[in-house]
Chain A
Amino acid sequence: MVIPPAILSARGVRKAYAGKVVLDGIDLDVQQGEAVTIIGASGSGKTTFLRCLNWLERPDAGTIRIDTQVMGRTGSVVATERVLAAQRRLFGFVFQRFNLFPHLTALQNVALGPRRVLGQGREAAEARAERELRRVQLGEHMHKRPSQLSGGQQQRVAIARALAMEPRVILFDEPTSALDPELVQEVLDTMRALASEGMTMLVVTHEMRFARHVADRVVFMADGTIAEQGTPEALFGAPADPRLQRFLRHLEPSA
């Protein structure tokens, strides 16, 4: 079997803050259409890794290749801000706290990127936005502002906002952690639907059900490294790393 080249590949990604190493050389390949979940204790570097992938945080070392591009580089030279912005667009990013633009309606939130980044006309951008909002079941709420929407609805708008830019990969940073428990499911359902449509996804989450039942692969991070990875069955069924065993034991009641 020929393994196609990964759509996203990280090599030797390092990041330290004030001398404290947060990421200690991470290698990860993600295939087109794959849904990968990153789990791990808080402080293990999961979120930082995600933020380094699209260069919201600049990695200290290592390379990130997305599609045919190397983040932060044009050939062998450092990319200009404009090029970096265009590269960043290849990733969608869904934040823990949604980060919707509060002064804009749901429709305008989603249309902003197509309009101001892709340079589409207002009608085209809004038609696009409407399509994405319907895709996340929010067609009837598109003229509301974020403050008029529930947390779950806001997060789905945020997902639509990411989708509207037609990213190669969507990065989810604990997308359900800021939600009331009863609102978690609607967001997970949306993500599950995306995964089944073949969207390439990288999801940092504490939702073990999602990791177990939706992800193609689970990556366990500890101390700024990838300690173990594999299929959900392998990772949850027969964890090898003692840190993973301990992590899963602590989760057991809710998992």
Chain B
Amino acid sequence: MIFDWNVVWYAMPLLAHGVVMTLQVSIVAGVLGLAIGLVAGLASLSSFRLLRGVVRGYVDFIRGTPLLIQIFLVFFALPVVGVRLPEYWAGVVALAVNSGAYISEIVRGSVGSVEKGQAEAALSIGMTRSGVLWWVLLPQAWRPMVPPLTNDLITLTKNSSLLSAISVYELTRAGQAIIATHFAPFEIYLLLALYYYLLISVLSWASRRLERSLPQW
């Protein structure tokens, strides 16, 4: 078998375009997912049972179904009930809703891991439950939250390759398009793997820096 360097040279700038899209989708979905996860995580800590039940159901559903099916649900099934999203936004929404569920569990877990005496001390100076959460528990929960959060955002970036299934022109889809015209799956998939690997390495490095820069107490 001959390794075709010409295809590689040809593909590299085209795939770079896909990298930009992958990053863009991941950042937008990550920010949205963070927002969803924070709200859902706080809701799961509230004293309203109904609210907790809704979040419970949402998290269960996301964890219990494949991401690819969730993407198809947003892209193919929602239009049936009148919600039609272009592929880009369908992809972003599916990824955000998916990671939001995991992030809400991270939020809930991190707040729950703050030592019990902290809440009691805050109650003892007359705080209400929401005051305790806001002024005492959340400020202490940020730090343990960051490593699993960055981990989740890295997973989200890798998962974005599934959006190729609904024709979002991100990195994987860009590679597939080249394969379809040049019949070079070996070169292109290797190249794709390398691109993802570099992308994730940069993200991992950045998240380690972030973790180290967190305040100590």
Chain A interfacial positions (CB closer than 8 Å to B): 54, 56, 81-82, 85-86, 88-89, 91-93, 95, 97, 99-103, 112-113, 116-117, 145-147, 158, 161-162, 165
**B123 close to A (CB within 8 Å):** yes
Contacting pair B136 A56 (CB below 8 A): no
Once the chains bind, are B125 and A113 in contact (CB under 8 Å)?
A: yes
Tell whether, in the assembled complex, residue B123 and residue A85 are in contact, meaning their CB atoms are under 8 Å apart.
yes
- B129: Cβ under 8 A from any A Cβ: yes
Question: What are 21 A-B interface contacts by the 8 Å CB criterion?
Answer: A56-B120, A56-B123, A81-B128, A82-B128, A85-B126, A86-B126, A88-B123, A89-B125, A89-B126, A99-B118, A99-B120, A101-B136, A102-B140, A103-B215, A112-B136, A116-B127, A116-B131, A117-B125, A117-B127, A161-B121, A165-B126
B139: Cβ under 8 A from any A Cβ: yes
Query: When chains A and B are docked, how far (Å) is the Cα of A158 from the Cα of B125?
Result: 11
Q: A85-B127, A85-B128, A113-B126 are contacts. A102–B120 as well, Cβ < 8 Å?
A: no
Best-surrounded residue of B121, B127, B129, B131 (most CB of chain A within 10 A): B121
User: Which residue of B is nearest A105, CB measured?
Assistant: B217
Interchain CB contact under 8 A, B217 and A56? no
**Other-chain residue from A85, A86, A99, A116 in contact with B121 (beta carbon distance below 8 A):** A99
- Also in contact, A103 and B127, with CB within 8 A (given A95-B120, A97-B117): no
- Interface positions, chain B 95-125, Cβ under 8 Å from A, are 115, 117-118, 120-125
CB contacts (< 8 Å) of B129 on chain A: these are 81
Rounded to whole angstroms, the CA-CA distance of A186 and B38 in the bound complex is: 44
Q: Which 9 A-B pairs have the closest CB atoms?
A: A89-B126, A93-B124, A99-B121, A113-B125, A99-B117, A117-B126, A85-B128, A102-B217, A103-B217
Minimum CB distance partner of B119 in chain A: A99
Cα A183 to Cα B85 with chains together (Å): 66
Q: Is B61 part of the binding interface, using a Cβ–Cβ cutoff of 8 Å?
A: no
Q: Which residues of B (116-163) have their CB < 8 Å from a CB of A? A: 117-118, 120-129, 131, 135-136, 139-140
* CB <8 Å contact, A103 and B140: yes
- 14 additional A-B pairs beyond A56-B124, A103-B215, A113-B125, beta carbons within 8 Å, are A85-B127, A85-B131, A99-B115, A99-B117, A101-B118, A101-B140, A103-B139, A103-B217, A112-B125, A116-B127, A158-B121, A162-B124, A165-B125, A165-B126
Q: Nearest-CB distance from A99 to chain B (Å)? A: 4
* Minimum Cβ distance to chain A for residue B112 (Å): 17
Task: For the complex, give the distance between the alpha carbons of A85 and B129 in Å.
Answer: 9
Known: A99-B118, A103-B140, A112-B135. A88 touches B126 (CB 8 A): yes
Chain B residues closer than 8 Å to A117, beta-carbon distance: 125-127, 131
Q: Would you call A116 and B135 a contact (CB within 8 A)?
A: yes
A88 CB contacts on chain B under 8 angstroms: 123-124, 126
Nearest chain B residue, comparing its CB with the CB of A90: B126
B123:A95 contact, CB within 8 angstroms: no
Q: Which residues of chain B are near A146, meaning CB under 8 Å? A: 217
Residues on A with beta carbons closer than 8 Å to the beta carbon of B126: 85-86, 88-89, 113, 117, 165
Inter-chain CA distance A89–B124, complex, in Å, is: 7
Q: What residues of chain B lie closer than 8 Å to A165, measured between beta carbons?
A: 125-126
